[in-house]
Amino acid sequence: MSYSLTLERKDNVLWAAATGTRSLETVLAISSEILAACVEKKVKRVLIDVRGLEGRLAKKDAYDIPDKHFPEIRDRSVITHAAIIDLKEFEDSYVFFENVAVSRGFRLRIFPEPEEAIEWLEK
């Protein structure tokens, strides 16, 4: 598992940018760091840019990630909205991930462009 994560609070949103290798373990580790940062910085909305992660998640991993996530996220006591920015070329993968996450109670959307993600978070 190799990744780097930068975190910055901008107004009421935590901005996160990840680089490295995309894997189940990496995504779960990044999610844990983001959750801890949201608690520490007292923010409930997150913008996560994963365009710097190399590779793709397997469909099984995209399905399993919401199950392996922290229950605090699902009940919205920590994060109320999560917008993820990913490469347009991965749209087929992230549409599946988004559908699974939403069906399991996450308020999450995935966008190919930051402007769309920011607009959704500000609603």
The pLDDT tens digits of the residues spanning 70-116 come to: 555 666 788 999 999 999 998 888 888 899 888 888 899 999 999 99
Tens of pLDDT, residue by residue over 21-39, are 999 899 989 998 999 999 9
Q: Would you kindly state where each structural domain of the chain is located, as residue ranges?
A: 3-122
Cα–Cα distance, 117 to 119 (Å, whole number): 5
| pLDDT value of residue 69 | 64
Q: What is the CATH number assigned to the segment(s) 3-122?
A: 3.30.750.24
Interhelix angle 59-68/24-41, nearest 10 degrees? 30
Residue in the structure block whose two tokens are 């469909």: 59
What was the pLDDT predicted at 43? Answer: 95
Distances in Å between the alpha carbon of 22 and those of 1, 42, 82, 116? 8, 27, 18, 23
Q: Looking at the whole model, is its pTM more than 0.85?
A: yes
Taken as a whole, the chain contains a residue count of: 123
pLDDT at 101: 87
The one-letter code for the residue type at 42 is K
